[in-house]
Structure 1
Amino acid sequence: MPARNAFYAQSGGVTAVINATACGLIQEARRHPDNIGKVLAGRDGIIGALTEDLIDTSLETDEAIARLRSTPGGAFGSCRYKLKSLEDHRAQYERLIEVFKAHDIGYFFYNGGNDSMDTAWKVSQIAEKLGYPVVCVGVPKTVDNDLPLTDCCPGFGSVAKYVATSIREAGYDVASMARTSTKIFVLEVMGRHAGWITAACGLASENAGEPPHILLFPEVPFDPARFLARVQACVDQYGYCTVAVSEGLSDADGKLIADSGTKDAFGHSQLGGVGQIVAQLIKDKLGYKYHWALADYLQRAARHLASKTDVEQAHALGVAAVDLALQGKNAVMATIERLADTPYRWRIGEAPLKDVANVERKMPAEFIAADGFHITDACRTYLQPLIAGEEPPPYRDGLPDYVRLNNKSVEKKLPEFKI
């Protein structure tokens, strides 16, 4: 059987290591020329497939592909675009299959989070219904660390390392000035429904009194009175208070504290600013001067501070996705399986896409302290290996030296398709 082409796309918010996954995947595909022809990447994610805007990665040198391992962002472009149900939007899925047919694509690799795994699962279904042979493999990626059936998600370990470092360093700053100036520092981090990134901030606090003093999780309803009492206690005891808060913090009724009232492309509430809301609450009720920061894109783009564990796992999952496809494993997601905590050992596994799609893994109760304001030792044991090690990018003239690919498109063969 002649070699067939592969389609690869990056989806959703990018990370410091999603390109490491692309690196591993393309490198492994190039090792199997008898089975895989070209890897065609979707420009701006799945939109590239719908519009037949396919990037020919075979035109990139081996050196350029290797440099993806140390480059943040999404080398081929990503998107927030969710394909809806098969029943209501069948035309979109049929269009994907038409593009796959036109370019002899026999492998579909979708690198993303919860919604992306749902899309990959649906594509496998429609391909089967239409009788088109394509092997669909999901490749996990999300800084939120909320995919089920995998020990962790590529992107999270590096974000965890960044936010823990940031709040430790900011804590030193605030402690220096607290006697005569700022006593409160609040760091807002990502995490809509799951508090994994907020929990990672807790790694910075190894001994009593070290920042962060308070963690606010989306899994724990926000109680202003209890929170303010804890802030006051920290100031009384330590002279200052540092707080890490998830963007998805909600009240006792489940209402998001920072819900702007608008929706993103996936239908999720637009969030942002909960850090300022919390900081202003402290100012209004306790009178303390504050500073607050929004980690935002900085936390997920910080390749200079990436976790070596995260880089290695991201790359390994790209390799594994190709290997699973060549084994004929259809409608599966490559996963990380933890074998031991100390020393940390892991291996590649797999999970059915249908069991991953649209399922969120929140922080387990045993990872959150009894008072709801910090992490437990069990959580620390889980998190610590994921931030371990450094694999810095190359530097040139004092700055990280990242690669930009040529990203030349293949010639289109089909009529235009409106999305």
Structure 2
Amino acid sequence: MAIRNAFYAQSGGVTAVINASACGVIETARQYSDRIGSVYAGRNGIVGALTEDLIDTTQESDQAIAGLRYTPGGAFGSCRYKLKGLEEGRAQYERLIEVFKAHDIGYFFYNGGGDSADTCLKVSQLSEKMGYPLCAIHIPKTVDNDLPITDNCPGFGSVAKYIAISTLEGSFDVASMAATSTKIFVIEVMGRHAGWIAAAGGLAADETRDIPLVILFPEVPFDQAKFLAAVEDKVKRYGYCSIVVSEGVKGPDGKFLADAGIKDVFGHTQLGGVAPLIASLVKNGLGFRCHWAVADYLQRSARHIASKTDVEQAYAVGKAAVELALEGKNAVMPTIVRTSNSPYRWEIGHADLADVANVEKKMPREFISEDGFGITDACRAYLLPLIEGEDYPPYRNGLPDYVVLKNAAVPKKLTSQFAV
């Protein structure tokens, strides 16, 4: 079997553990040097492939690659760049194949969410039509936890841990000030259509901590009167209340409360600013003093308190991607299969990309409390194992000692240029 090179790229919003998946890919590929030659990474994701701006990971030491396991962000750069449909954007896909052919790339590993799953499937389909042998494997990654089939998505567990901790600590803070000052703490979290991250805030309260929480999910239409009544009731009973609000909360008309009026490159509505809106509603409607915070990038970059489960699973899907490719699988995605809740056990499976692309997994109604403002025991049982364990990075001078790669460029072989 001829030795061929591999291409790996990171796509979309990064996570605290996407580099752990990269580590899994590269370390595993190095173990199969008799079948896989060089692993090239796309500088700034798929854009690097289109512009033939490739990174030679063979120039990195084993120690540097190992350091990716505990380093946040996207080590090779990511992007939000949507490839068009096969016919409409055929030139883009043909360019990818042209670059892959020039660098003898036989393996394509694309690490991202739903849009990248669709891209990976289309690249696989076109390569087959063009008669170019290419094995395309999608590696799951999304903090939103909205990919289908896989039990959960690498990146989510660490965000869930961050939000659960932040909600817990913020609640302790506001509780101490409630008698004479602030009574409401509002934290805005990511989640456009799925409320998985918001649900994680519910873990702050348990049988040992009776913390008053109100959670606003994208899956539950926002009812202002019902919401204010719930908050008022919490304050009457506890003296304070913490509110976890997903950025994707919608009104009864189906419109986002925080619609900024602009679209991103994927055609998604640009969101942000729902926390101050909710705080204003509470202040004006109930007269309570509020403080609010937007977790934003902090929730997805907090590698210092990443979930050990999440780190292990992120590495495992990267490793599995290479192994699936070497088994001859194509147009598939490694998945996490939960085999037991208590004790928590999981294994790696795989799914066809045709069943993954353009499918969004939302919170099931049985995970949301009857009043629509909390989580159920079933949701708690699902979430808790995903935030379990600590996997601290090494520290130097009081700060995490994260890795910065050389990211040496691969010499270009094509004379043609491609504008993106």
Aligned partners of 1:358, 1:9: CA distance in 2, in Å?
A: 19
Listed one character per residue, the Cα deviations across residues 386-413 of structure 1 (whole Å, up to 9, x for unaligned) are: 0000000000000100000000110111
* 1:276 partner letter: P
Look up the SS of the partner of 2:334 in the other structure: strand
Q: Does 1:295 align with 2:307?
A: no
Q: Does 1:418 align with 2:419?
A: yes
Counterpart of 2:185 in structure 1 is 185
Look up the SS of the partner of 1:245 in the other structure: strand
Superposed, which structure 2 residues align to 1:165-314 within 5 Å?
165-207=165-207, 210-211=210-211, 213-314=213-314
Aligned partners of 1:70, 1:211: CA distance in 2, in Å?
A: 32
* Structure 2 unmatched runs, 5+: none
Aligned partners of 2:345, 2:2: CA distance in 1, in Å?
A: 38
**TM-score of the pair, normalised by structure 1:** 0.99
Counterpart of 2:17 in structure 1 is 17
Counterpart of 1:93 in structure 2 is 93
Q: Does 1:133 align with 2:133?
A: yes
**TM-score of the pair, normalised by structure 2:** 0.99
Q: What percentage of residue pairs aligned between the two structures are identical?
A: 69
Residue 358 of structure 1 deviates from its aligned partner by 1.2
Residue 210 of structure 1 deviates from its aligned partner by 3.0
Give the length in aligned residue pairs. Answer: 419
Look up the SS of the partner of 1:5 in the other structure: strand
Counterpart of 1:151 in structure 2 is 151
Aligned partners of 1:34, 1:241: CA distance in 2, in Å?
A: 59
Residue 2 of structure 1 deviates from its aligned partner by 2.4
Aligned partners of 2:358, 2:14: CA distance in 1, in Å?
A: 18
Which deviates more from structure 2 when the two are superposed, residues 198-207 or residues 70-79? 198-207
Look up the SS of the partner of 2:16 in the other structure: coil
Aligned partners of 2:280, 2:69: CA distance in 1, in Å?
A: 41
Q: Given that residues 337 and 346 in structure 1 are in contact (C-alpha distance below 8 angstroms), is that contact kept between their aligned partners in structure 2?
A: yes
Listed one character per residue, the Cα deviations across residues 52-98 of structure 1 (whole Å, up to 9, x for unaligned) are: 00000000000000000000000000000110100101000000000
Residue 265 of structure 1 deviates from its aligned partner by 1.2
Q: Given that residues 112 and 142 in structure 1 are in contact (C-alpha distance below 8 angstroms), is that contact kept between their aligned partners in structure 2?
A: yes
Residue 207 of structure 1 deviates from its aligned partner by 3.6
Q: Given that residues 218 and 246 in structure 1 are in contact (C-alpha distance below 8 angstroms), is that contact kept between their aligned partners in structure 2?
A: yes
Q: Does 1:385 align with 2:381?
A: no
* 2:71 partner letter: T
Listed one character per residue, the Cα deviations across residues 91-141 of structure 1 (whole Å, up to 9, x for unaligned) are: 000000000000000000000000000000000000000000000000000
Residues 330 and 212 (structure 1 numbering): CA distance in 2 closer, same or farther, change over 3 Å?
Answer: farther
Residues 294 and 7 (structure 1 numbering): CA distance in 2 closer, same or farther, change over 3 Å?
Answer: same
Counterpart of 1:2 in structure 2 is 2
Residue 213 of structure 1 deviates from its aligned partner by 1.1
Aligned partners of 1:320, 1:139: CA distance in 2, in Å?
A: 9
Q: Given that residues 209 and 238 in structure 1 are in contact (C-alpha distance below 8 angstroms), is that contact kept between their aligned partners in structure 2?
A: no
Listed one character per residue, the Cα deviations across residues 289-335 of structure 1 (whole Å, up to 9, x for unaligned) are: 10000000000000000000000000011100000000000000010
Aligned partners of 2:337, 2:93: CA distance in 1, in Å?
A: 32
Listed one character per residue, the Cα deviations across residues 163-204 of structure 1 (whole Å, up to 9, x for unaligned) are: 000010010000000000000100000000000000011011
Residue 209 of structure 1 deviates from its aligned partner by 7.3
Look up the SS of the partner of 2:153 in the other structure: coil
Aligned partners of 2:330, 2:318: CA distance in 1, in Å?
A: 15
Look up the SS of the partner of 1:142 in the other structure: coil
Look up the SS of the partner of 1:137 in the other structure: strand
Q: Given that residues 212 and 240 in structure 2 are in contact (C-alpha distance below 8 angstroms), is that contact kept between their aligned partners in structure 1?
A: no
Look up the SS of the partner of 2:382 in the other structure: helix
Q: Given that residues 168 and 212 in structure 1 are in contact (C-alpha distance below 8 angstroms), is that contact kept between their aligned partners in structure 2?
A: no
Look up the SS of the partner of 2:243 in the other structure: strand
Look up the SS of the partner of 1:34 in the other structure: coil
Q: Given that residues 204 and 212 in structure 1 are in contact (C-alpha distance below 8 angstroms), is that contact kept between their aligned partners in structure 2?
A: no
Aligned partners of 2:212, 2:110: CA distance in 1, in Å?
A: 36
Aligned partners of 2:89, 2:17: CA distance in 1, in Å?
A: 32
Listed one character per residue, the Cα deviations across residues 140-165 of structure 1 (whole Å, up to 9, x for unaligned) are: 00000000010000000000000000
Aligned partners of 1:283, 1:210: CA distance in 2, in Å?
A: 24
* 1:418 partner letter: A
* 1:318 partner letter: G
Aligned partners of 1:55, 1:101: CA distance in 2, in Å?
A: 16
Tell me the C-alpha RMSD between the 2 structures: 0.8
Residues 330 and 97 (structure 1 numbering): CA distance in 2 closer, same or farther, change over 3 Å?
Answer: same
Counterpart of 1:331 in structure 2 is 331
Residue 212 of structure 1 deviates from its aligned partner by 5.1
Look up the SS of the partner of 1:14 in the other structure: coil
* 1:372 partner letter: G
Listed one character per residue, the Cα deviations across residues 359-411 of structure 1 (whole Å, up to 9, x for unaligned) are: 11000011000110000000000000000000000000001000000001101
